[in-house]
């Protein structure tokens, strides 16, 4: 099990990404646009620096929905490999046989 503080940190990062994600993307588009003036690009870069660092999508980690484990995460199922193996062993995941692991 992951620490509750680590889970809370991930929830905070997800919240900030939802809140500032659109603004961050629009500012990056202005910065990467070569047609805009140098002053506009510098102003957009300054505004981007003022946003919280944790609002960046790259700072989020995938965590198992059941245990909160960050490693061995399987995106297709949203759980870690350990939980996947347990659930498949008990027959909770249809179409998975022990011979197929």
Which DSSP string do the residues of 9-42 spell out, in sequence order?
HHHHHHHHHHHHHHHHHHHHHHHH-TTS-HHHHH
**CATH number for domain 62-101, candidates 4.10.830.10, 1.10.510.10, 3.40.960.10, 3.30.360.10:** 4.10.830.10
Q: Are strands 73-74 and 79-80 parallel, antiparallel or unpaired?
A: antiparallel
Q: What is the pLDDT of residues 3-53, one digit of tens each?
A: 888 888 889 999 999 999 999 999 999 999 989 899 999 999 999 999 999
Confidence band, pLDDT 50/70/90 cuts, at residue 75: very high
Tell me the whole-structure pTM to 2 decimals. 0.68
In the chain, where the domains are located: 1-61, 62-101
Q: Which of 22-26, 92-96, 97-101 has the highest mean pLDDT?
A: 22-26
Q: Is the pLDDT confidence value at 89 over 70?
A: yes
CB 69 within 8 A of CB 86: no
Give pLDDT, residue 19. 95
Residue 61 parent element (H or E): none
């Amino acid at each position: 099990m992951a620490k509750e503080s680590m889970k809370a940190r991930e929830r905070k990062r997800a919240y900030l990404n939802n809140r500032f994600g659109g603004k961050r993307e629009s500012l990056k588009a202005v910065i990467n646009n070569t047609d805009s003036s140098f002053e506009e690009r510098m102003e957009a870069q300054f505004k981007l620096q003022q946003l919280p660092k944790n609002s960046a999508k790259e700072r989020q980690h995938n965590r198992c929905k059941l245990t909160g484990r960050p490693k061995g995460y399987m995106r297709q199922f949203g759980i870690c490999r350990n939980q996947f193996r347990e659930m498949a062993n008990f027959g909770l995941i249809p179409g998975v046989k022990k011979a197929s692991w």
